[in-house]
Amino acid sequence: MAAATDFDVVILNGRVMDPETKLDAIRNVGIKDGVIGLITSKEIKGKETIDATGLVVAPGFIDGHQHCLEPYAYRLMVRDGRTTIMDLEIGAPGNQVADFYKKMEGNAPLNIGVAVAHEFARAEVLDGFKKWKYLHTPDAVQSRVKEGWSKTRPTLAQGNEILKIVDEGLRQGGIGIGSTVGYMRDGVSSREIFELQRLAGQYGRQTGMHFRNTPGNDVEETMGIQEMLANAAALGSPGIAFHFNNPGYGMVHELMVRMRQRGYNVWGEIYPYRAGSTALNAVFLEPDVWVEKLGNKYEETIMDVETGEFYTRRSRADMIKKEPTRLIVMYKMPEEAILDWIKMPGVAIGSDGMPLIPDDGLKWETPYEELPNAHPRFSGSFAKVFRMARENNIPLMQAVSMSSYNYAKPLGDMGLKAMQLRGRMQVGMVADITLFNPETITDNATYEKGTRPSSGIPHVIVNGIVVMKDEEPLKRFDAGQPIRFEPQKKGRFKPLDAEHWTKKFYVLPKEEDFGGASHLGCCDFKQKGEHPH
């Protein structure tokens, strides 16, 4: 144990809250070599001192669903108390995961990680599209105009190629698989999703889904998550339900709670807003798919992020011809539902922050007021949870758990070492720490200006390095670390063969023919002259 004067940073007189052990007490915290070395009521000293009187000392906030991992976003993330941002819903192209981590090394004040993108693999195989503007966010105009990736059923050979690309990303250390199947519900068969989850399970990693029928009504939403959960149960593969804060959320939450009670590693996340955000040409924004089917009106539902004006059916069709992936906000849930979500045990916060458009010339130093508009979840998701908990008498420990432990615990349970050491205020844990005032922590971002920074969070520490002091983010790009698995020497995917699937699960004359791994069903990828019967 470090001596009383041997710490790099000490935090004095703060209310230390640990969601795992339920510690909630005034303590002093000593940090040494990036790790929490001591939590004590006794006096301690260090090279740098933070007076935390009146502040909560909590595990650093973990955002597992942030699509914008660029420097211009870092200050806003830190201002919202986030110490780790990961894109687990889309992620990076499978063959570029290693390049992504190399690019990020030593270039961020936060910890950063990515999953492997199912969407990207489909776009590469079905559209021949490889020129991503970023490694983590699709420059999707060309791909989504052609729509091969979203509407085409792959042949068996194409399906094998898609899975091979995803497997390479897992081999390179990607944090599971991200699948936006809700955007490609017509092109992705149930078998393709099953094989995707099987592949993730072979590495012991999760598949995270914007599941098939999101957004939908309370029947469709539940059925969409049941696809993922049934596969997870059959395969023993972890799973994440992204932003299940849509109709049917109560049933979805109960399903996951009951599965966790039976030992399955499945969990979900919400963002605390009644509106979502996506591209204008998303398949579920068609009137007969979602908007008018649920009794909504374009004039009250789909709003342009840049102009603040609502679309009609005609104006949406006209804009799609000009700018198909233009960002919109879609109003879909009553405001009072947010309180239900924040009361759900085991649920994590994921912001679903989207890139800022246009982004030309944006840098770390770009003033907040000069940043393009965005959905307020980009900047304020975590502070809003704490504000709403305060205003509605929801236990503070619940909000602390949602913001940190509820993402760290399931990721750690599947073997991600970086998350086994985060999300907790305990000796020996990595010193990712967020200090906030429980009486004043507030989100300031609005739909009119989504890049206003949160307030009431004066200090943030990442890997033992102070990256924000007195609400002023510091350009400590040496602080952040990669959140990833160690690269494997070999991939684990074996090409699928329709005939092997039949032999594995049907009674055949020769028992010796039953061997081999289970593979693809004969009628699930579209096959050209490959049907076994």
Per-residue pLDDT tens listing for the chain (533 residues): 445 558 999 999 999 999 999 999 999 999 999 999 999 999 999 999 999 999 999 999 999 999 999 999 999 999 999 999 999 999 999 999 999 999 999 999 999 999 999 999 999 999 888 776 654 444 444 444 456 888 899 999 999 999 999 999 999 999 999 999 998 988 999 999 999 999 999 999 999 999 998 888 899 899 999 999 999 999 999 999 999 999 999 999 999 999 999 999 999 999 999 988 888 888 778 766 666 666 777 778 888 988 889 998 889 889 988 888 888 888 888 899 999 999 999 999 999 998 888 888 899 999 999 999 999 999 999 999 999 999 999 999 999 999 999 999 999 999 999 999 999 999 999 999 999 999 999 999 999 999 999 999 999 999 999 999 999 999 999 999 999 999 999 999 999 887 765 666 776 555 554 444 444 444 455 544 343 33
Q: Is residue 295 part of a domain?
A: yes
Predicted local distance difference test score (pLDDT) of residue 288 = 67
List of residues 6+ apart from 417 with CB closer than 8 A:
none
The tokens for 233 are 């149960």
Q: Is residue 430 part of a domain?
A: yes
List of residues 6+ apart from 267 with CB closer than 8 A:
239, 240, 241, 256, 260, 346, 347, 348, 406, 410
- Say if residue 128 is exposed, middle or buried (CB neighbours under 10 Å; 0-12, 13-18, 19+): exposed
Give 179's strand partners: 209
Contacts 24+ apart (CB under 8 A), 129-134: 130/93, 132/93, 132/96, 134/69, 134/70, 134/355
Report which residue type is found at 296. Answer: N
Per the structure, the count of domains in the chain is: 3
Residue 299, phi then psi, degrees to nearest 5: -65, -10
Report which residue type is found at 36. Answer: I
Q: Is residue 126 part of a domain?
A: no
Are 399 and 342 within 8 A, CB to CB? yes
| 120: Cα within 13 Å, side-chain hemisphere | 31
Q: What domain range includes position 512?
A: 499-533
Helix (H) or strand (E) segment spanning residue 142: helix 141-146
Q: Is residue 312 part of a domain?
A: yes
Same domain, 308 and 375: no
Report which residue type is found at 470. Answer: D
Same domain, 323 and 338: no
Predicted local distance difference test score (pLDDT) of residue 524 = 54
Residues in the chain: 533
Q: How many CB atoms lie within 10 A of CB 363?
A: 8
Same domain, 397 and 299: no
DSSP 369: G
Are 527 and 192 within 8 A, CB to CB? no
List of residues 6+ apart from 79 with CB closer than 8 A:
379, 453, 454, 455, 457, 468, 471, 473
Q: Is residue 130 part of a domain?
A: no
Helix (H) or strand (E) segment spanning residue 150: helix 148-151
Same domain, 317 and 348: no
Cα–Cα distance between 66 and 353 in angstroms, integer? 5
Same domain, 108 and 250: yes
Same domain, 401 and 339: yes
Q: Is residue 298 part of a domain?
A: yes
Cα–Cα distance between 74 and 83 in angstroms, integer? 10
Final residue of a structural domain among 309, 332, 355? 332
Final residue of a structural domain among 473, 490, 520? 473
Give 433's strand partners: 59, 461
DSSP 181-211: GGGSTTT--HHHHHHHHHHHHHTT--EEE--
Same domain, 264 and 350: yes
Same domain, 287 and 375: no
DSSP 265: -
Residue recorded with tokens 């399970």: 201
Same domain, 438 and 398: yes
Q: Is residue 150 part of a domain?
A: no
The tokens for 273 are 């807003």
Same domain, 346 and 440: yes
Same domain, 421 and 518: no
What's the CA dihedral at 527, 122, 177, 462 to 10 degrees?
170
Predicted local distance difference test score (pLDDT) of residue 289 = 67
Predicted local distance difference test score (pLDDT) of residue 262 = 97
Predicted local distance difference test score (pLDDT) of residue 500 = 62
Are 441 and 364 within 8 A, CB to CB? no
Same domain, 255 and 359: yes
How far, CA to CA in Å, does 60 sit from each of 110, 386, 422, 423, 436?
A: 10, 14, 8, 7, 11
CATH number at residue 339: 3.20.20.140
Are 211 and 226 within 8 A, CB to CB? no
Is the C-alpha dihedral spanning 121, 126, 130, 132 positive or negative?
negative
Helix (H) or strand (E) segment spanning residue 35: strand 35-40
Q: Is residue 433 part of a domain?
A: yes
How far, CA to CA in Å, does 449 sit from each of 76, 143, 388?
A: 13, 29, 20
Q: Is the peptide bond before 482 cis (omega within 30 degrees of 0)?
A: no
Report which residue type is found at 259. Answer: M
Cα–Cα distance between 141 and 164 in angstroms, integer? 25
Are 311 and 302 within 8 A, CB to CB? yes
| Short-list 224, 212, 294, CA closest to 252 | 224
